């Protein structure tokens, strides 16, 4: 058996290649949209990709099933509860897929979504115990998939929670302790609240250590897994719907063009937005007015989906050599309207000085002076689960994922001061508010962590 895990840090997303060396047949599970790595690895190992399995309709990224099928002719498989606009191989609970001696077995594990499945991987067809189980978004390391995402339109969190309880407590926990667990996501994903940085585990370890795998009633389970979940980025529903549709495949390798000044000016005139992927400090020193700063060094794709809309035309400003990477990260969440990048931003800034602005970033000492003014709107943009460590007194809580749609709760005529945990997200949020017309927006250098070094925690 050839078994490879691929992990994408930007989206905390895992995908898998499972192949049989003897027959040369392989299946890809939960692929991302840029598929060159799978194709290259399969070719190097002498494998033919014959099938693509998606454990569910993903909400946090665009799956590469159409891209792989177009390139290899592979069938596309989903659990038999799935309905899509393209041709699908319906995979029934208990169905076995033979790659040769290596065998996959489908296990229906609904709850995160109604069509969710897990995939048992047997190194030999007659093995009594599976080598591992690919759990998708049903079971994570340290957590389980949230049942409250709007991706499952028409199904309530309570209905999904009941399904998830059976999937986790009875089906997955019914597997032998030695079965390895390989989830579709790790720490940082908004698909759960307590995901581990570990990329694999065992059923036995999860039985002992995962809070949601402990014996409990259905009511207790639903309460504990739905409490304290982070706000879902607005692009999740868009992705969940797009993953059901026939769509254009990603033209990997073509890249986006460098734009000359005239092309940039024309795009801005028709309403294009600027994504500035440089470091926060570089951005604060000089940027095009109205730019949104989502640095390439962090969870860029997911965060872009919180502050941009898929219909936006986008011009990229990025650290040199990262322009195409930024465009690919947009494409991974189905944002396909990156029209190009500004090749020499400093030169453009000099020649368009009237369009250049600076960002206000305050130290903790400056923050103490500023928040003494009752007119200042102090906003905590961390996720709900982060508030347990405390808040800065007087702050209102609006998570970054909700900030652009809840901006009307703030007065654009009054000063706004944002903070997150360490200062990365607050630069994003401050730039997004400025792009919406807020004139006086600052954020706190070092975020709440810097504040807490010199202040006693205040309960949220």
3-class SS of residue 362: strand
Q: For 347, list phi and psi in degrees, rounded to 5.
A: -65, -40
Phi-psi domain of 136 (left: phi exceeds 0; alpha: psi -120 through 50; beta: other)? left
Cα–Cα distance for residue pair 391/419, rounded to 1 Å = 10
Q: For 9, list phi and psi in degrees, rounded to 5.
A: -60, -40
Based on the residue annotation, tell me whether 420 is a catalytic residue of this protein. Answer: yes
| Token reading at 77 | 């498989």
| Token reading at 251 | 């033209």
3-class SS of residue 419: strand
Cα–Cα distance for residue pair 451/458, rounded to 1 Å = 11
| Token reading at 276 | 């500035």
Length of the chain: 460
Inter-residue contact 187 to 196 (CB < 8 Å): yes
| E-assigned strand segments in 123-207 | 132-136, 139-140, 143-144, 180-183, 201-202
Cα–Cα distance for residue pair 205/121, rounded to 1 Å = 18
DSSP sequence for 4-30: EEEEEGGGTEEEEEEEETTTTEEEEES
Sign of CA dihedral 263, 265, 271, 275: positive
Counting other chains too, the contacts that 261-268 makes at CB distance below 8 Å and 24 or more residues apart are: 261/348, 261/351, 261/352, 263/340, 264/315, 264/342, 264/348, 267/313, 267/315, 267/339, 268/315
| Token reading at 152 | 């499952």
Catalytic residue among 10, 191, 213, 420: 420
- The one-character DSSP state at 258 is B
Cα–Cα distance for residue pair 460/448, rounded to 1 Å = 13
The angle formed by the CA atoms of residues 325, 327 and 328, to the nearest 5 degrees, is 65
Q: How many helices (H) and strands (E) does the chain have?
A: 15, 25
**What distance separates the 2 farthest-apart alpha carbons in the chain?**
72
Q: Which positions are catalytic?
A: 420
């Amino acid at each position: 058996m050839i078994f490879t895990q691929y992990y994408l840090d930007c989206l905390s997303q895992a995908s898998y290649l499972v192949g049989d060396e003897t027959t040369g047949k392989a299946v890809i599970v939960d692929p991302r949209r840029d598929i060159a790595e799978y194709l290259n690895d399969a070719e190097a190992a002498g494998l033919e990709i014959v099938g693509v399995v998606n454990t569910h309709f993903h909400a946090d990224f665009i799956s590469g099933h159409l891209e792989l099928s177009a390139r290899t002719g592979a069938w596309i498989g989903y659990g038999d509860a799935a309905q899509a606009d393209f041709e699908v191989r319906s995979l029934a609970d208990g169905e076995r897929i033979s790659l040769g001696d290596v065998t996959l077995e489908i296990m229906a594990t609904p709850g995160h979504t109604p069509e969710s499945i897990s995939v048992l991987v047997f190194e030999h067809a007659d093995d009594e115990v599976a080598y591992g189980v690919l759990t998708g978004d049903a079971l994570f390391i340290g957590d389980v998939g949230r049942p409250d995402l709007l991706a499952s339109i028409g199904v309530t969190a309570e209905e999904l929670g009941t399904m998830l309880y059976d999937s986790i407590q009875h089906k997955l926990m019914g597997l032998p302790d030695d079965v390895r667990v390989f989830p579709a996501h790790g720490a940082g994903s908004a698909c759960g609240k307590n995901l581990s940085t570990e990329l694999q585990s065992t059923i036995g370890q999860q039985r002992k250590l995962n809070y949601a795998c402990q014996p409990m009633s259905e009511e207790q389970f639903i309460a504990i897994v739905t409490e304290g979940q982070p706000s879902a980025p607005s692009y999740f529903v868009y992705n969940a719907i797009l993953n059901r549709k026939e769509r254009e495949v990603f033209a990997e390798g073509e890249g986006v063009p460098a734009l000359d000044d005239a092309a940039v000016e024309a795009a801005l005139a028709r309403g294009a937005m600027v994504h500035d992927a440089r470091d926060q400090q570089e951005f604060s020193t000089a940027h095009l007015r109205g730019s949104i700063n989502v640095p390439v060094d962090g969870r860029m794709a997911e965060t872009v989906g919180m502050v941009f809309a898929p219909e936006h035309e986008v011009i990229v400003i990025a650290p040199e050599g990262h322009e195409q990477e930024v465009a690919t990260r947009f494409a991974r969440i189905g944002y396909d309207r990156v029209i190009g990048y500004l090749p020499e931003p400093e030169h453009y800034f000099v020649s368009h000085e009237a369009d250049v602005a600076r960002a206000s970033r305050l130290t903790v000492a400056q923050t103490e002076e500023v928040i003494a003014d009752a007119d200042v709107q102090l906003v905590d943009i961390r996720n709900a689960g982060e508030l347990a460590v405390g808040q800065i007194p007087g702050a209102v809580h609006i998570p970054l994922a909700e900030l652009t749609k809840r901006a009307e709760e703030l007065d654009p005529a009054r000063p706004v001061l944002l903070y997150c945990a360490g200062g990365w997200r607050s630069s994003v949020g401050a730039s997004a508010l400025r792009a919406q017309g807020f004139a006086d927006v600052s954020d706190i250098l070092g975020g709440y962590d810097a504040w807490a070094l010199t202040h006693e925690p205040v309960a949220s």
